[in-house]
Amino acid sequence: MKKIIGVGLLLFTSIEGVPKMYTVKELKAKPSIFKEVGMIGPPFETMEEKDDDNIETTITRLIQEETPFSISEICLHEIISEDFNLIPKRPDIFTRYAYASLKSDPPEEILELPDIDISFAGWHPLCEMYDKFTRIETLPILNHFKRNSHYAKLCHLVLS
């Protein structure tokens, strides 16, 4: 069985002194991975053969396809190389993630994204994500992020 790796990007900025995460809304369902229309969360991209098993290459593609930002506008802080198996009945699918921040203030409005299967869903503090209809990977990844001091590091970087 071939291993499939999905990569999430937790992209943050400070808005009114609060770290907030860039989120997207799913516009297309993929029942095989429990993705439904309307789910909100950080952007995820599947690692492809052309990425040569390089997570940074996948993250670069994710930024180009699922955000309105250029690579130069984002500071990648850390890639979490741990594999998470979060999709029920899919032992072949694993999730990894990275966290980053914008180097400048976020735009007032984001109207269009390169990927037509998603739309911008806003900048949200992590605590708000627990009340949203999220992708199956989102909350376990956020819990890991908060539990392992990554969030504390990010707050220091984003708010200082």
pLDDT digits (tens, 9 = 90+) for 57-104: 999 999 999 999 999 999 999 999 899 999 999 999 999 999 999 999
pLDDT value at residue 29: 97
119 vs 40: CA distance, rounded Å: 9
Rounded mean pLDDT, 106-132: 93
Q: Are 95 and 8 in contact (CB under 8 A)?
A: yes
| The model's pTM | 0.94
Instruction: Please tell me which of 6-10, 107-111, 155-159 the model is most confident about, judged by mean pLDDT.
Output: 6-10
31 vs 89: CA distance, rounded Å: 12
pLDDT value at residue 160: 67
Q: Are 42 and 138 in contact (CB under 8 A)?
A: yes
Domain segments of the chain as ranges: 4-159
151 vs 159: CA distance, rounded Å: 12
Structure tokens at 112: 């269009």
Q: What amino acid occupies position 25?
A: K
Nearby residues of 25 by Cβ (< 8 Å), 6 or more positions away: 38, 39, 40, 118, 119, 120, 121
pLDDT value at residue 153: 83
Distances (CA, A) of 115 to 25, 28, 156, 159: 11, 11, 31, 30
Half-sphere exposure of 155 (CA within 13 A, CB side): 10
**pLDDT greater than 80 at residue 157:** no
Q: Are 103 and 94 in contact (CB under 8 A)?
A: no
Q: Which CATH architecture has domain 4-159?
A: Alpha-Beta Complex (3.90)
Cβ burial of 23 (10 Å; 0-12, 13-18, 19+) is: buried
